[in-house]
Structure 1
């Protein structure tokens, strides 16, 4: 497969161009360093950025999934985000925002594909307690945790095609980017929806977050334009889409519509996305160059043990660093051999690097400086 010409995973065109000049160290989506992110490609006919499925990459992905552990350092059931300076469940924020876009009935059936430990299902059940819950993932050892959620009816680990059930709502949160054949999967999902059924997809926004390129086990990298194009190709009518439901992310709410002819006309984002990936690659390189000039004898704090921080620490190959995280359940634990501190524990006059896109890093810096004015905060420009 490493030498085979593959079709674009979005528009199915064979006109896929490799980008050998984009070479990055990798990080897994469960936040472990990896030697290489993979070989990047772009479709000349639609502009979708994706991975080349080489034999090495497929082996890497299989190894990552065989030992996958989401949120390994955190005792929190799910990731927290900050809304007006206050921590809130990422899933709860998503539900609050999309409930303004669509009114769901009092009862129904929801299937969460890639449900993990059931974080989204739990939050959904709190808001829509009349719904029956169904989860789908690869790990059999998660079954008891999923089935312990009130109103949980089933947990599927078999091939999706074999699920003998129809649903009113199907969610894929941070899943679509992992799929080898996303159009085919979405068409299968369409067949599992009742008439008028809704699919909800949330994924990273490549347009604003260069660090997404480092994730090894991501097969596709979406902008809002290419995600919307994917939904149309699969035969869905878009109800709402946004790049503001969560920071650095994009989402789509779409409805099954049997009146849509597929495939639809393709819009080509080639030049726009070619410029984007090269701009991001240069930006990431500049970050490393900037930090390599920093005093090697001075410890650097890195804010956040997630993907961007893990990539930065791995790429710098620097021994003298420590972690800072606002999730207090991580305090005192170690990641990549370095201790995790709370912001209150950081020694005065330390330097903490914020590995986030500039606009996000500025907001975080402004918030943290109010409590720790004695710390130097640096972030990408």
Structure 2
């Protein structure tokens, strides 16, 4: 890997390396090392390609197909109720985009297209279209997207210049060439059309840096570079509305503009990425040492998502967790790595230690709200020590 995926600047040696296997966003393992580079010219961080990446997305990447209503929790309301990802994405799309009446809207990399479906339910005047690189989701589109407005593997030539709005949620982090990806979206837009692109914000969710199928880890500066190089004018980069993610709105620009990015912004993005890589080196040592120190203890892991899965992969040689704990009702009652996923309040009273597999920026506040995990004698192990 010799060049930055965004600005094509020459890359020096990796900032972070970990031996195979690597954990994917689907909580599966691939026989590939984790290698992260950081670009000092635009502030972008990137990982190496997956082996056989096209096959992975066609047959292995099956997002939210566990059940018809499967969804992911992205936060909790003031009342303590879970906030589900597609509900939040739909509401943000309707708020951030100036969507004209009767707009033709494309969900690019749609998966089940649940977000678009909820937008259409709120705005029945919208004309939905969907595209994905897998047949796995086609059944979810039936009954509300016309057959001629569905595409798999290849976008129809007739769609070029068709759309008023394109949404693409958590796709661009997976692609080998983010500039070519954005140029494709631009070509599908009508003049004056807008895109809403979401992606992980690694600064707000450090776990993203080690996700095997996330090849791109954007900073604000590298995101600005990407839009400019692809022929867009940025209108909004929202870093607060969706926990741990960027939501960016840009309008098609028929004249290429030079990236308008301050050197201090580039430096901040690159420095943050390097800091996160150093955090993961420390986290690995922390969990490995804790597993050896607590060998023989009765343990559970809080969190059946990426962080909890990563912890499980690090400790199983020394400790056999009896269960995962998770607040997501769609996960409770299921099995994860052959262990039950339980409501946190149902933790076995004989448990000695809880490995906290949550975003370290939020973990302590979440655990503080769980009385069953704040009992004397229960040891808590945190990723950040």
TM-score band by shorter chain is: 0.7 to 0.9
What secondary structure sits across from 1:240 in the alignment? Answer: strand
Distance 1:112 1:194 in 2: 15
| CA apart distance, 1:263 | 6.4
| CA apart distance, 1:366 | 2.2
Distance 2:354 2:114 in 1: 30
Aligned to 2:140: 145
Aligned to 1:305: 304
In the alignment, which of 153, 160, 164 is matched to residue 159 of structure 2? 164
What is the CA deviation profile of residues 178-237 of structure 1, one whole-angstrom value per residue up to 9, with x for unaligned ones?
111110121121121112211111111111322112211121111233223211221211
Seen in structure 2, the aligned counterparts of structure 1 residues 109 and 209 have a Cα distance that, compared at 3 Å, is: same
Measured on the aligned residues, the alpha-carbon RMSD in Å equals 2.8
Distance 1:212 1:378 in 2: 20
What is the CA deviation profile of residues 65-102 of structure 1, one whole-angstrom value per residue up to 9, with x for unaligned ones?
42222236566332123232221221222333454444
What is the CA deviation profile of residues 101-129 of structure 1, one whole-angstrom value per residue up to 9, with x for unaligned ones?
44322321111111111221222212222
What secondary structure sits across from 1:11 in the alignment? Answer: coil
- Contact kept in structure 1, 2:32 and 2:51, CA below 8 Å: no
Q: Given the two structures, how large is their TM-score scaled by the length of structure 2?
A: 0.86
| CA apart distance, 1:167 | 0.7
- Contact kept in structure 1, 2:62 and 2:136, CA below 8 Å: no
- Contact kept in structure 2, 1:30 and 1:71, CA below 8 Å: no
Where does structure 2 lack aligned partners over 5 or more consecutive residues?
A: none
Q: Given the two structures, how large is their TM-score scaled by the length of structure 1?
A: 0.86
Seen in structure 2, the aligned counterparts of structure 1 residues 145 and 32 have a Cα distance that, compared at 3 Å, is: same
Pairs within 5 Å for 1:1-381: 6-13=2-9, 15-19=10-14, 21-23=16-18, 25-53=21-49, 57-59=50-52, 62-63=55-56, 65-71=58-64, 76-81=69-74, 82-84=76-78, 85-149=80-144, 154-160=149-155, 162=157, 164-165=159-160, 166-262=162-258, 267=263, 268-269=266-267, 271-273=270-272, 275-318=274-317, 319-321=319-321, 322-348=323-349, 350=351, 351-369=353-371, 373-374=374-375, 376=378, 377-381=380-384
Distance 1:211 1:37 in 2: 16
Distance 1:89 1:336 in 2: 23
Seen in structure 2, the aligned counterparts of structure 1 residues 245 and 10 have a Cα distance that, compared at 3 Å, is: same
Distance 2:108 2:170 in 1: 10
Distance 1:92 1:304 in 2: 21
What secondary structure sits across from 1:233 in the alignment? Answer: helix
What secondary structure sits across from 1:302 in the alignment? Answer: strand
| CA apart distance, 1:16 | 1.7
- Tell me the number of residue pairs that the alignment of Structure 1 and Structure 2 aligns: 372
